[in-house]
Amino acid sequence: MASAALLVLLALATMQPQTTSSQKETHLKVYWHDVGSGPDPTSVPVARAATTNTSKAAFGLVIVIDDPLTDGPGLNSSRLMGRAQGTYIAAGKDQLALLMLMNFVFTAGKYNGSSVAIMGRNAVFTEVREMAVVGGTGVFRWARGYAQARTHTLDLKTGDATVEYNVFVMHLSRP
């Protein structure tokens, strides 16, 4: 009887799922450069409503981006870490508030080949804007978390901006 019970316990023990990974929190800090001016823009408008030009909040404007992400604030003096690829939409009718939908695709450093997906509201004249990290690939599989954006520089004439992004990601760490 005793050995039968032991066998059942052993069988149950071997049926437990193997723990092959644990949760990890990673803090990423990058500078996001949105350049719509000049001969080689990384930020291009693709659609607007008939009323967008007369809207004080640019309501209805859709922009597609492939913006450089660097490790420092200077676009040309810092290391290129990846690209922010996606779109943002002026989704506020009375206040300038963007809906950001973008992948941070890393192309250098230890996260080369991995990405995080960010989605959220960006009221650009607010000091700190928080957006959700809704997923990721590679190192950042199963990611969730949040990103905080702070404007570093904004050229009001061209709209070109450099924004500091602090991204806090919970993801699996594989041993």
> Which is closer to ligand NAG, CB of 35 or CB of 131?
35
Contact residues toward ligand NAG (CB under 6 A) are 38, 50, 53, 75-76, 107-108, 112-113
- Smallest separation (angstroms) from ligand NAG to the CB of 38: 6
Instruction: Please compute Rg for the chain using Cα positions.
Output: 22
Query: Quick one: tokens of 39?
Result: 């001969």
∠ Cα 104 107 109 (to 5°): 105
CB distance 33 to 61 below 8 Å: no
> Which is closer to ligand NAG, CB of 27 or CB of 110?
110
> Which is closer to ligand NAG, CB of 9 or CB of 37?
37
- Smallest separation (angstroms) from ligand NAG to the CB of 174: 17
Rounded to whole angstroms, how far apart are CA atoms 140 and 172?
A: 7
- Smallest separation (angstroms) from ligand NAG to the CB of 138: 10
